[in-house]
Amino acid sequence: MSWKFFVSHSLPLFFLFFFYSFPLISTKHNDDPTFKTMHDFSGYPVDESSHTFTPSNSISLSVDIQALQKQIDELSTFSDTPAPSVTRILYTENDVLARRYVKNLMGLAGLSVTEDVVGNIFGRWDGYEPKLTAVATGSHIDAIPYSGKYDGVVGVLGAIEAINALKRSGFKPKRSLEIILFTSEEPTRFGISCLGSRLLAGSEALAEALKATVDGQNISFLEAARSAGYARDEDDLSRVFLKNDSYSAFVELHIEQAPILEEEGISIGVVTNIAAPASIKVDFEGNGGHAGGVLMPDRNDAGLAAAELMLAIEKHATESGSLDTVGTVGILELYPGAINSIPSKAHLEIDVRDIEESFRNAVINKIHKAAKSIAKKRKVTLSEFKIINQDPPAHSNGSVIKAVVDASDELNLTYKYMISRAYHDSLFMARIAPMGMIFIPCYKGYSHKPEEYASPQDLENGVKVLALTLAKLSLR
């Protein structure tokens, strides 16, 4: 019987007790291929100096998929828009309720729960060598307007279920395992993506900028944080920064948000790179005027300048020379916003990405040039061209990749190496820890819309791979 078979099919309990009764050293002379120490199981060399013997020499993972699905469904009800859409914006009432829901599940899983001043939430399972740096996992639960219920949530609730599955199996971690719920991965409220993980990774610029950042209603970041119970007596957000050696590894479980795994019938995506995103805010200003009164040759319509820039963005992203370059205008606002008024101002927010920073930056330069020449041609003012962030790409760490691949192999799951064009908190965690990501298929690749869906089987596979990966990393 193969080890893979053993992992996926529970052996009778008496077999396990039989195995457990052997001291660690005797396994070296044991010919039975199903007989594994936790070190064998981890795939890493046995530490000869360690005399610690954990009773859990083998694990058989069982995921409670019904419980997990129920939690995903329940969490989705904390939403500002009706089902099946989910809208959960940072520090709103529904965000606070959803956070409470997750903290409760962390508590039920026996994790010790702490929060930092911006509301990054940490649930820790102490290892038997608690002084070693922990292994972390996690994701986000905020959801952009009219989004779905799986983006981010799978990496938080799935991680809690992975810990539950490890606990049920009798596994004892050597390094502590920690789940992080990251504050505001989505940029919806304050225009800054991966706000929590950016701060954890030590972004001085962000800690400073947040002191003066306001949302669309002119509510300051600190005021909003306080209304949710955070940053009470604190405006020094640099307290959130983590030290570089806080975690020995970080691994995030996420839906793919693209259709490749589903189309190819592959269970697991092993992420090798995360694309480098940049966001830009642009304003054009013209004279506006009466839609009937001002003749066409006399206009300088800021809206038309925006329309032309949008087409230029499509062209430059398409012709960048890299298939991975993508450019999107997701926000376009025209002022004063009346059918019978020529737009006097147009505000655009542009998202450009590639896994190669140089391709992405070349496109940004072309967009800037296009904006200037369109403004000149249309006799409008380019009153703002502001790069909000221009993040470098992240590369997954070889040993975390290997742990994910080994876990998939041992679970008899097909896998494929892939890049992530979506960004994730992992992009920033990679700055302070060896990082890896596990993707699962999602229906037609749909994401950031209510139709987002991952099947129970794919969820279960993802949670198992995450659990086994965490187990391996914790034993290193």
Residues in touch with ligand GLV (CB under 6 A): 186, 422-423
Cβ-based nearer residue to ligand GLV, 186 or 283:
186
Parallel, antiparallel or unpaired: strands 381-390 and 143-147:
unpaired
Cβ-based nearer residue to ligand GLV, 109 or 274:
274
From candidates 142, 151, 178, 283, binder to Mn ion by CB under 5 A: 151
Outline where DSSP puts E strands in 50-199: 86-88, 112-115, 121-125, 134-140, 143-147, 177-182
280 contact choice in Mn ion, ligand GLV, none (CB below 5 to 8 Å, kind-dependent)? none
423 contact choice in ligand GLV, Mn ion, none (CB below 5 to 8 Å, kind-dependent)? ligand GLV
Residue whose pair of structure tokens reads 């279960």 in the numeric block: 460
Chain centre distance of CA 327:
20
Closest CA to 433 of 133, 205, 172: 133
- CA–CA gap between residue 281 and residue 289 (Å, rounded): 24
User: How near is the Cβ of 355 to ligand GLV at its closest, in Å?
Assistant: 13
Interface region with Mn ion, contact rule CB under 5 A, candidates 10-18, 19-27, 106-114, 148-156: 148-156
User: How near is the Cβ of 187 to Mn ion at its closest, in Å?
Assistant: 10
Interface region with Mn ion, contact rule CB under 5 A, candidates 145-153, 213-221, 436-444, 459-467: 145-153
Cβ-based nearer residue to Mn ion, 274 or 374:
274
Q: Which helix (H) or strand (E) holds 375?
A: helix 357-378
Q: Is 398 left (phi over 0), alpha (psi -120 to 50) or beta?
A: alpha
Q: Is 169 left (phi over 0), alpha (psi -120 to 50) or beta?
A: alpha
Nearest residue to the partner ligand GLV, using Cβ? 422
User: How near is the Cβ of 187 to ligand GLV at its closest, in Å?
Assistant: 8
Q: Is 288 in the site for Mn ion (CB under 5 A)?
A: no
Interface region with Mn ion, contact rule CB under 5 A, candidates 77-85, 151-159, 412-420, 458-466: 151-159
Q: Angle 151-153-154 (CA atoms, 0-180°, nearest 5)?
A: 90
Cβ-based nearer residue to ligand GLV, 92 or 300:
92
| Structure-token pair, residue 384 | 């703002």
- CA–CA gap between residue 3 and residue 434 (Å, rounded): 28
| Structure-token pair, residue 354 | 């590639």
Number of helices (H), then strands (E), belonging to the chain: the values are: 15, 17
303 contact choice in Mn ion, ligand GLV, none (CB below 5 to 8 Å, kind-dependent)? none
From candidates 123, 127, 138, 152, binder to Mn ion by CB under 5 A: 152
Beta bridge partners of 334: 346
User: How near is the Cβ of 259 to ligand GLV at its closest, in Å?
Assistant: 16
Q: 212-251 mask for Mn ion (x: CB under 5 A)?
A: ----------------------------------------
Kindly list the residues in this chain that would bind Mn ion in the complex (CB under 5 A).
151-152
